[in-house]
């Protein structure tokens, strides 16, 4: 496709215009988002927003591949990134095997994995094998269980230094972009200046090179809770319920199907 977005397109936007990113998990919504956004992520957040789990840890490679295939069928313009699930990159061997699955079995442009200094050698090995990597530092949702929740990062000097160094290590290892999640915005601002690769924020303020949101949060379909950083651009759940009530009433009253929906 002539106007297919590549990592070079994303890189060219740094310091020029904001990079707009969103998650998608199926072909239907991916095809709606594809015309309007720069990057679509098949995030392991799907385990929470669509599977009603309390964290992202229980989703596996087979599910991520299934959803990534679907998204790739629906989108052919945006840059597509598939999330490596928890446990799929604990060793270089596993990371290479699973990242390769993404490239062989789907059409994602890159994979994403969480972590900084501790995974830099893994990122480098994946990049060296010819697979593009997007990093993810700051609040790392895959650590939610071991750390007892989702904690904003950068609230003290040690945390600021850790996230800052993590970001630099991920860039040095060869990542093409970096997601920065749940981090105070002054730290995001310093990182945006320091990094050469695009910095995509989620809960990191408006000082990054772009933003990403989980689509069901952004459009009000996921209503179990709303993190501070989410803005609801639509009350999706309410709209669907309203339409559903109309459907239920129409069926019960036999208003539906009418003559125009009936083969006469
Ligand atoms: O899984 C996901 O959707 C993500 C985004 C929150 C960046 O990692």
- The CA distance from 252 to 190, in Å, is 60
Atom number, ligand 1, closest to the C-alpha of residue 44? 1
- The CA distance from 234 to 242, in Å, is 14
Distance 23 CA to ligand 1 centre (A): 7
Q: 250 lies in which domain range?
A: 235-264
Contacts of 156 (CB under 8 A, 6+ apart): none
Q: Same structural domain for residues 181 and 239?
A: no
Residue 65 covered by a domain = yes
Token pair 């093409």 is found at: 176
Q: Same structural domain for residues 126 and 249?
A: no
Ligand 1 lined by 212 (C-beta under 6 Å): yes
Distance 214 CA to ligand 1 centre (A): 7
Contacts of 132 (CB under 8 A, 6+ apart): 7, 109, 110, 111, 176
Q: Is 181 a catalytic residue?
A: yes
Q: Same structural domain for residues 190 and 248?
A: no
Mutate which of 19, 25, 44 for ligand 1? The one with the most ligand atoms within 8 Å of its CB, which is 44
Q: Same structural domain for residues 180 and 162?
A: yes
Q: Structurally, how many domains does the chain consist of?
A: 2
DSSP secondary structure string, 113-163? Answer: EEBSGGGHHHHHHHHHTT-EEEEEEES-GGGTTTTTS---B-SSHHHHHHH
Q: Same structural domain for residues 252 and 199?
A: no
Residue 167: strand, helix, or coil: helix
pLDDT tens, residue order, the chain (264 aa): 659 999 999 999 999 999 999 999 999 999 999 999 999 999 999 999 999 999 999 999 999 999 999 999 999 999 999 999 999 999 999 999 999 999 999 999 999 999 999 999 999 999 999 999 999 999 999 999 999 999 999 999 999 999 999 999 999 999 999 999 999 999 999 999 999 999 999 999 999 999 999 999 999 999 999 999 999 999 999 999 999 999 999 999 999 999 999 999
Residue 116: give its domain's CATH number. 3.20.20.60
Q: Same structural domain for residues 186 and 261?
A: no
Q: Same structural domain for residues 255 and 128?
A: no
Q: Same structural domain for residues 123 and 254?
A: no
pLDDT at 41: 99
Q: Same structural domain for residues 142 and 243?
A: no
Ligand 1 lined by 45 (C-beta under 6 Å): yes
Residue 1 covered by a domain = no
Q: Same structural domain for residues 130 and 50?
A: yes
Distance 132 CA to ligand 1 centre (A): 17
pLDDT at 21: 99
Q: Same structural domain for residues 53 and 167?
A: yes
Residue 40 covered by a domain = yes
Ligand 1 lined by 83 (C-beta under 6 Å): yes
Contacts of 56 (CB under 8 A, 6+ apart): 44, 45, 47, 48, 85, 86, 141, 142, 144
Per the confidence metrics, is the pTM higher than 0.85?
yes
Residue 252 covered by a domain = yes
Q: Same structural domain for residues 138 and 150?
A: yes
Residue 2 covered by a domain = no
pLDDT at 2: 58
Token pair 């009418």 is found at: 258
Residue 202: strand, helix, or coil: strand
- The CA distance from 221 to 212, in Å, is 16
């Amino acid at each position: 496709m002539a106007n297919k977005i590549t990592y070079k397109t994303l890189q060219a936007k740094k310091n020029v215009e904001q990079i707009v990113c969103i998650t998608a998990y199926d072909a239907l919504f991916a095809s709606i988002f594809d015309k309007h956004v720069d990057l679509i992520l098949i995030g392991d957040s799907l385990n929470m927003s669509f599977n009603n789990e309390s964290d992202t840890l229980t989703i596996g490679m087979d599910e991520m591949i299934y959803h990534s295939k679907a998204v790739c069928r629906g989108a052919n313009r945006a840059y597509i990134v598939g999330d490596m699930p928890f446990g799929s990159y604990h060793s270089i061997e596993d990371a290479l095997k699973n990242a390769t699955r993404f490239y062989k079995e789907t059409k994602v442009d890159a994979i994403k994995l969480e972590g900084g200094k501790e995974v830099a050698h893994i990122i480098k090995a994946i990049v060296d094998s010819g697979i593009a990597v997007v990093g993810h530092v700051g609040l790392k949702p895959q650590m939610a269980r071991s750390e007892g929740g989702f904690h904003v990062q950068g609230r003290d000097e040690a945390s600021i230094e850790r996230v800052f160094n993590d970001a630099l290590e991920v860039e040095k290892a060869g990542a093409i972009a970096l997601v920065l999640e749940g981090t105070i915005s002054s730290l995001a601002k310093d990182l945006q200046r320091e990094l050469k690769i695009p910095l995509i924020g989620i809960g990191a303020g408006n000082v990054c090179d772009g933003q990403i949101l989980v689509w069901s949060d952004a459009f009000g379909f996921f209503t179990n809770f709303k993190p501070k950083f989410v803005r609801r651009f639509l009350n999706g759940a309410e709209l669907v319920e309203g339409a559903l009530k109309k459907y239920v009433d129409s069926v019960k009253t036999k208003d539906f199907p009418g003559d125009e929906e009936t083969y006469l």
